[in-house]
C-alpha cells in the first residue's frame, strides 16, 4: 500500500533527523553556549509569529485541498495556483509588519533580521502540495540533501559564541533553499492556469479558518520561551529550549504517522467513506501509543546521562526539565492525530481552536506566577498540563464521530510493556551506575527495546498485527 511506503519514507527521514542532534547538540551547546542558545530561542519564538502570519494556515488548507482534488488534475492545478498566490500575498503582509516591528524595537535587531529569512522560506514552501498528492519521496529526498549540507557548513563556520549570527543564517538559509528546490518537481504535475480565473480571495477566507488553530499552536510553543526570556534568564530559556528540541525530535517520529495519513483520511472523507477514515485513525492512535510510551519512559531513564554527555557541565539541572517535558509526548502524539488531522478533516477547526485557546489561557495565568520562581521546570510542568487539557477537550468534541473506546482499547498494553521495561532498566541502571554515560545510554537503550518488544509479543496488540500485515503486503 502507498500509505505504508509513504510512512517508511517519512520515518526514514525522521530517524535521520533523530540522529542529527546526536552530532550537533553537543557541538552547538559548547560553542554557542547557554546565553547564545537562549537568545536564539528567544528571537526564534518572536519570528515564529511572523512566519505564522506568512503561512496563514494555508499549508494545512493546501494539503487538505490537494488531497480532495488530486484525481482531477485541472481543478488541482487551479487550487495549487490559488494557494500559491495567497501565500505570496500573506508573506508580503508579514514582511511589512516585520519591518515595522524592527523599526520600533531596539534590542537584538540584527539577530531578528537574520531570523527573518524564515518568513521568506515559509512564503515559498510548497511541501503541502506533495503531502496532498502523497508524494513523500520528493520532499524526503530534498530534505536529506539540504540537511546534510547545512550540518557540514555549521561545523565549518560555527566555532564559538561570536558565531551565533552565522548559525542562524545557516539554519534560515538552508530552509529557504530547501523549499526552493521543491518547485522543479511540480513541472509534470501542475498545469499553467490563466490568472484571471484564479480565485485566491476565497482561499484567503478559507485559510483564515485554519489560521486561528495555527496561531494558538504557535502561541503554545513559543510563549514559554518568551516568558522565560522576559521573566527569568536566558540560561533558563536555553534549558527549556534544548529540552524542547529533544522532545520535538521524538515527536517528529510520532507526527510522521499523522502527516502520512492526513491526505488519505481527507480523501476518504470527501468520498463519504467514513468507516475507512475512522479505521485509519484507530490504527494510527495505536501506533502512536506504541511509540510514545516507551520513548517517554526511556527519556526519563537516561536523562541524567544524556544531559551530561550532550550538553556539558554548563547545563547542570537540565535533566529535570527534560524528564518532565518528555511526558507531553504522549498527549501531543494523540492530539496531533485527533486535533490537527481528524478535526480539521471533518470541519471542526473552530472547536480545535477553542481547545487550544482554553488550554493556553489557563497555562498562561499559571506561567506568570510560576516561571519567575521556578524557571524552566515550571514551564515544563505547565506545558504537560496544557497538552493534556487540550487533548481532553478534543476527545470530548469528537466523541460523536468516532468510538473513543475503540481508539484507546489497546493503550493499556503499551503502558504495561513500557512499565515492565522501565523497572527492568532501572534495575540495570542501579547495577551499572559507575560506568560511562555512553555505556549507560546504550545499555538502557538496547535492553529497553528488547524487553519492550518481548512484552508486546506476549500481549499481541491487534493494531500492530494489522500494521505488520500491511507492511508484508507492500514488500511482495
Percent of the chain with pLDDT over 70: 90
**pLDDT for residue 115:** 92
DSSP letters along 36-55, please? HHHHHHHHHHHHHHHHHHHH
The C-alpha atoms of residue 26 and residue 437 are separated, in whole angstroms, by 14
List own/partner pairs for 91-95 with CB under 8 A and 24 or more apart: 91/54, 91/119, 91/120, 91/122, 91/123, 91/124, 93/53, 93/54, 94/50, 94/51, 94/53, 94/54, 94/119, 94/123, 95/50, 95/54, 95/119, 95/120
Residue range 286-296: mean pLDDT, rounded: 92
Percent of the chain with pLDDT over 90: 22
**Residue 470: pLDDT over 60:** no
Q: Which residue has the higher pLDDT, 137 or 158?
A: 158
Q: What is the pLDDT of residues 76-127, one digit of tens each?
A: 888 888 888 889 999 999 999 999 999 998 788 889 999 999 999 999 988 8
3-state secondary structure of 15: helix
Using alpha carbons, select from 163, 176, 173, 221 the residue that is nearest to residue 37: 163
Q: What is the pLDDT of residues 307-352, one digit of tens each?
A: 887 777 667 778 888 999 999 999 999 998 898 788 888 888 788 8
Q: Which residue has the higher pLDDT, 318 or 426?
A: 426
The C-alpha atoms of residue 210 and residue 344 are separated, in whole angstroms, by 8
Tell me, yes or no, if the pTM score tops 0.75.
Answer: no
H-helix or E-strand spanning residue 423: helix 411-431
3-state SS string over 81-105?
HHHHHHHHHHHHHHHHHHHHHHHHC
Query: In the structure, how many helices (H) and strands (E) does the chain have?
Result: 20, 0
C-alpha cell at 144: 536529506
Confidence of residue 464 (pLDDT cuts 50, 70, 90): low
Q: What is the pLDDT of residues 18-74, one digit of tens each?
A: 566 667 777 887 788 878 888 887 888 889 889 988 988 888 788 888 888 877 888
3-state secondary structure of 80: helix
End-to-end CA distance of the chain: 10
Contact 65, 266 (CB under 8 A): no
Q: Which residue has the higher pLDDT, 262 or 157?
A: 157
Amino acid at each position: 500500500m502507498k500509505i505504508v511506503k509513504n510512512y517508511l519514507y517519512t520515518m526514514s527521514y525522521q530517524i535521520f533527523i533523530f540522529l542529527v542532534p546526536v552530532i550537533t547538540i553537543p557541538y552547538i551547546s559548547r560553542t554557542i553556549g547557554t546565553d547564545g542558545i537562549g537568545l536564539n530561542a528567544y528571537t526564534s519564538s518572536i519570528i515564529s509569529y511572523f512566519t505564522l502570519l506568512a503561512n496563514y494556515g494555508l499549508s494545512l488548507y493546501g494539503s487538505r485541498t490537494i488531497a480532495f482534488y488530486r484525481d482531477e488534475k485541472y481543478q488541482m492545478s487551479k487550487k495549487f495556483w490559488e494557494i500559491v498566490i495567497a501565500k505570496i500575498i500573506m508573506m508580503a503582509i508579514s514582511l511589512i509588519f516585520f519591518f515595522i516591528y524592527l523599526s520600533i524595537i531596539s534590542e537584538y535587531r540584527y539577530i531578528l533580521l537574520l531570523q527573518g529569512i524564515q518568513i521568506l522560506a515559509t512564503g515559498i514552501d510548497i511541501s503541502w502540495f506533495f503531502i496532498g498528492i502523497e508524494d513523500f519521496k520528493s520532499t524526503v529526498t530534498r530534505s536529506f540533501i539540504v540537511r546534510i549540507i547545512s550540518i557540514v557548513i555549521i561545523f565549518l563556520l560555527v566555532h564559538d559564541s561570536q558565531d551565533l549570527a552565522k548559525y542562524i543564517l545557516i539554519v534560515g538559509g538552508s530552509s529557504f533553499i530547501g523549499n526552493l528546490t521543491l518547485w522543479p518537481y511540480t513541472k509534470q504535475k501542475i498545469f499553467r492556469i490563466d490568472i484571471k480565473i484564479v480565485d485566491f480571495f476565497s482561499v484567503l477566507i478559507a485559510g483564515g479558518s485554519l489560521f486561528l488553530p495555527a496561531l494558538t499552536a504557535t502561541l503554545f510553543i513559543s510563549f514559554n520561551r518568551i516568558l522565560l526570556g522576559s521573566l527569568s534568564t536566558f540560561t533558563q530559556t536555553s534549558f527549556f529550549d534544548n529540552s524542547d528540541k529533544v522532545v520535538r525530535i521524538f515527536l517528529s517520529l510520532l507526527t510522521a504517522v499523522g502527516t502520512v495519513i492526513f491526505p488519505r483520511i481527507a480523501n476518504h472523507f470527501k468520498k463519504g467513506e467514513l468507516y475507512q477514515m475512522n479505521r485509519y485513525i484507530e490504527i494510527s492512535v495505536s501506533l502512536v501509543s506504541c511509540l510514545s510510551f516507551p520513548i517517554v519512559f526511556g527519556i526519563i531513564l537516561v536523562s541524567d546521562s544524556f544531559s551530561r554527555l550532550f550538553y556539558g557541565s554548563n547545563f547542570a539541572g537540565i535533566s529535570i526539565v527534560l524528564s518532565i517535558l518528555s511526558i507531553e509526548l504522549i498527549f501531543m502524539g494523540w492530539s496531533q492525530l485527533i486535533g490537527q488531522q481528524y478535526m480539521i478533516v471533518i470541519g471542526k477547526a473552530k472547536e480545535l481552536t477553542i481547545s487550544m485557546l482554553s488550554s493556553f489561557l489557563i497555562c498562561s495565568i499559571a506561567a506568570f506566577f510560576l516561571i519567575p520562581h521556578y524557571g524552566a521546570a515550571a514551564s515544563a510542568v505547565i506545558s504537560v498540563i496544557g497538552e493534556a487539557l487540550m487533548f481532553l477537550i478534543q476527545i470530548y468534541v469528537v466523541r460523536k464521530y468516532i468510538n473513543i473506546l475503540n481508539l484507546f482499547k489497546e493503550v493499556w498494553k503499551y503502558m504495561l510493556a513500557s512499565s515492565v521495561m522501565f523497572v527492568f532498566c532501572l534495575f540495570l541502571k542501579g547495577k551499572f551506575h559507575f560506568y560511562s554515560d555512553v555505556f549507560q545510554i546504550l545499555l538502557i537503550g538496547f535492553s529497553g527495546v528488547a524487553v519492550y518488544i518481548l512484552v508486546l509479543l506476549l500481549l499481541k496488540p491487534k493494531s500492530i498485527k494489522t500494521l505488520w500485515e500491511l507492511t508484508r503486503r507492500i514488500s511482495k
